[in-house]
């Protein structure tokens, strides 16, 4: 492991020097490529340098203990050595995690799709709650949220909403949200006061660039139609809504939130590319069982992953058996404890496979 880390540090130094080279600076494409590679190495090189510093301090402390020392000073050095050894163990574990193969999609933006499931209007309201939760989480992280398409209901919920979250590492944090989210509460539409169980399905797709997925123009059919639902004067009068059908797969994507047909087409193509990328990756994972994602269920939309129980004020993630009694805070976007637990579980499972 040490040799590999040493090589990465040398590569880090090489990239640092390249970024100071006027020739590289003049070539923005090359500069951006090197800057991205440097950023990817920063955490591991910083940790490795601290690890080397700790090793040197441990060596110095042991050398001091080998000499004749004042008893009080010896006790102080021994205590310091003990702390250094504990720190070394933590750094080794951290370096092992940093050396794990990265998901190539981790730094991508995400396309999220939330659809109301069983439960009628209450499920649509819950879909709206989930959209608000993810929007607040994105806001807390300094990320940008943009609605690409939506199908709102009269009471303020959504039968379906598709949106993009843009920010560094967005996919790495949100990829485990795919699946069935279940809510248990007394619906606002229920006069009898009975607790109902409703559900909404969340899909998280890494945003696909044109270089990731090439779509042959002959493979798609584009239809335009009048937008429906709430909106301005253009609704139901202008053919601004766009429906794209990908003929080889039968995938259909519609976008109508913008008044511009051109903008709706661009958004629909963005969603289509992301869906096709996800499909290609799932097929690849199916063929290569050893390369599948961890078993905590980061991609199966049909899996029930989480329950939001209002009477008990709790949220339970069924994949890792985590229960938190802070439902209101979580619905306001305080998701980090859950996300960190899921990421840690994935890392632990990856470590088991490589050790």
* Residue pLDDT tens, the chain, 355 long: 888 899 999 999 999 999 999 998 998 888 988 888 898 899 999 999 999 999 999 999 999 988 877 888 889 999 999 999 999 999 998 898 888 878 888 888 999 999 999 888 999 999 999 999 999 999 999 999 999 888 999 888 999 999 999 998 899 999 999 999 999 998 876 666 788 899 999 999 888 765 567 788 888 888 887 776 544 444 445 667 888 888 888 888 888 866 778 888 888 888 888 888 888 777 765 543 443 344 454 444 567 899 999 999 999 999 999 999 999 999 999 999 999 999 989 888 888 776 6
Whether 308 and 181 have beta carbons less than 8 Å apart is answered as yes
pLDDT at site 263: 82
pLDDT at site 317: 96
pLDDT at site 233: 40
pLDDT at site 328: 96
- The side-by-side arrangement of strands in the sheet containing 110-116 is 144-152, 158-166, 110-116, 196-206, 179-185, 304-309, 314-317, 322-324
Whether 182 and 302 have beta carbons less than 8 Å apart is answered as no
Would you give the distance in Å from CA 318 to the centre of its chain? 19
Note the pTM of the prediction, 2 decimals.
Answer: 0.69
Which residues 6+ apart lie within 8 Å of 11 measured at CB? 41
Between CA 136 and CA 130 the distance in angstroms is: 10
pLDDT at site 90: 92
pLDDT at site 189: 67
Classify residue 286 as exposed, middle or buried by CB count within 10 Å of its CB (0-12, 13-18, 19+): exposed
pLDDT at site 45: 94
pLDDT at site 337: 95
Report phi then psi at 140, rounded to 5.
-65, -30
Token pair 């069982």 is found at: 289
Between CA 54 and CA 231 the distance in angstroms is: 62
Between CA 245 and CA 249 the distance in angstroms is: 9
Write the DSSP string, 19-70. HT-HHHHH-HHHHHHHHHHHHHHHHHHHHHHHHHHHHHHHHHHHHHHHS---
Whether 272 and 149 have beta carbons less than 8 Å apart is answered as no
Between CA 355 and CA 2 the distance in angstroms is: 16
Between CA 87 and CA 346 the distance in angstroms is: 23
Question: Which tokens in the block code for residue 161?
Answer: 């909403």
C-beta atoms surrounding 255 within 10 Å = 27
Cα-based distances in Å from 193 to 76, 309, 327, 333: 66, 15, 20, 27
Instruction: Reduce the DSSP state of residue 198 to 3 states and report it.
Output: strand
Between CA 237 and CA 68 the distance in angstroms is: 92
Cα-based distances in Å from 104 to 93, 227, 277: 22, 37, 12
């Amino acid at each position: 492991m040490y040799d590999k880390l040493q090589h990465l540090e040398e590569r880090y130094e090489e990239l640092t020097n390249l970024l100071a080279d006027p020739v590289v600076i003049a070539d923005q494409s090359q500069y951006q490529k090197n800057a991205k590679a440097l950023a990817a190495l920063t955490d591991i090189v910083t940790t490795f340098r601290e690890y080397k510093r700790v090793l040197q301090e441990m060596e110095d402390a042991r050398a001091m203990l080998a000499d004749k020392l004042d008893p009080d000073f010896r006790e102080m050095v021994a205590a310091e050595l003990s702390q250094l050894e504990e720190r070394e163990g933590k750094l080794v574990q951290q370096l092992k995690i940093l050396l794990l193969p990265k998901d190539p999609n981790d730094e991508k933006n995400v396309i999220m799709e939330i659809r109301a499931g069983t439960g009628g209007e209450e499920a649509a309201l819950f879909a709206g709650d989930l959209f608000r939760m993810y929007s607040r989480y994105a806001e807390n992280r300094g990320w940008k949220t943009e609605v690409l398409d939506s199908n709102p209901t009269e009471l303020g919920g959504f039968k379906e909403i598709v949106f993009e979250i843009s920010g560094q590492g967005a996919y790495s944090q949100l990829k485990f949200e795919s699946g069935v989210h279940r809510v248990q509460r007394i619906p606002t539409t229920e006069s009898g006061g009975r607790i109902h169980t409703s559900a909404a399905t969340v899909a998280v797709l890494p945003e696909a660039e044109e270089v990731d997925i090439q779509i042959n123009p002959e493979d798609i059919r584009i239809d335009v139609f009048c937008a429906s639902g709430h909106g301005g004067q253009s609704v139901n009068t202008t053919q601004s809504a766009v429906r794209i059908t990908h003929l080889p797969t039968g995938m259909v994507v519609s976008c109508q939130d913008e008044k511009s047909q051109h903008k709706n087409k661009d958004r629909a193509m963005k969603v289509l590319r992301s869906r096709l990328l996800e499909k290609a990756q799932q097929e690849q994972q199916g063929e290569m069982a050893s390369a599948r994602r961890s078993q905590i269920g980061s991609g199966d939309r049909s899996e029930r992953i989480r329950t939001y129980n209002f009477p008990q004020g709790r949220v339970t993630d069924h994949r890792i058996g985590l229960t938190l009694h802070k439902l209101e805070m979580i619905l306001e976007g305080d998701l980090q404890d859950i996300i960190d637990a899921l990421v840690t579980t994935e890392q632990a499972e990856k470590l088991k496979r490589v050790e």
